[in-house]
Structures are given as C-alpha cells and as structure tokens.
Amino acid sequence: MSSGATPGLFRHTATILRTTGSKDALGLRADSWTESGTFRCRIDEQSAGEQGYADGVAVVRTVELRAWWRSVVNLALSEIDRVSVRGRLLRVTAVRNLDEGDRTAVIECTEVDA
C-alpha cells in the first residue's frame, strides 16, 4: 500500500496543544498551551543530532507522524500548534496531504532535548 495508512498502524493517541494567545505584562505572547483535541497516529523517528541551543548543546530529533487526513483537517492542525504523543512534546513544522489523496496526513515535527 503506497500511503502506508492501515488502521492497525495508527496505535498512538496524539493530543493537539494550541497557544492560548494570552500576553504577559510586557505585551509578549505567553507560552501557555491548551488541549484542543486528539487523533490516532503512527510515529516514525527520522533523524537526531546535536545542535547548539541556548547556552549549551541539545539533541534535536526530527519525527514524522502519520494520521488519517480527515481527522487532522477536522481538528485544524497547523504549524503553530504543538502535539503531545507518548509523553513527548513535538513542535509541528509541516502538515502534508500524502500524494494529495485526502487519506493520509504526514505531520513533520521536531523535538528538542535540552
């Protein structure tokens, strides 16, 4: 199967986290998140490497999630959201419709272990 989308592979539950849009005393966006829905997905590790981060070195992992396209569209997942899967907090970097088939969503994410 070209899309790799079979129900048994989507065994993990992902929770979408959206920014609340609140601002702090200086008028800057506050880093606060609220849960905004769940979907079933598959997790694939793509790569990992060391990278300069803040005042030291961190491991940055690239992770790919696959889910049903309709689920992702219904929840309006976008690149400004975060996704929590199996205790991991992932930053969404891209949401793609695999082969424009409206069946499988490919969600590219990064995770930073500082």
The answer to the question of residue 94 being in a domain is yes
What CA–CA distance (Å, rounded) separates 17 from 84? Answer: 7
Residue 4 lies in a domain: no
Task: Give how many domains the chain has, as a whole number.
Answer: 1
Is 3 a member of any domain?
Answer: no
Lowest-confidence pick of 3-12, 15-24, 38-47, 97-106 = 3-12
Q: What is the pTM of this model?
A: 0.79
Q: Residue 67 pairs with which residues in a beta bridge? A: 41, 105
Nearest-Å Rg of the Cα atoms of the chain is 15
pLDDT (tens digit per residue) in 22-39 = 777 777 776 778 899 999
Answer whether 95's CB lies under 8 Å from 80's CB: no
pLDDT band at 114 (very low <50, low <70, confident <90, very high): low
* DSSP 8-state assignment for residue 6: -
The CATH number of whichever domain residue 62 belongs to comes to: 2.40.10.270
Any domain includes 2: no
| 1 lies in some domain | no
Whether 75 shows a pLDDT value over 50: the answer reads: yes
Domain range enclosing 98: 9-113
pLDDT, tens digit (0-9, with 9 covering 90-100), for 42-65: 999 888 888 787 778 888 899 999
Residue 83 is assigned to a structural domain of this protein: yes
First vs last Cα of the chain: how many Å apart? 38
Residue 82, domain member (yes or no)? yes
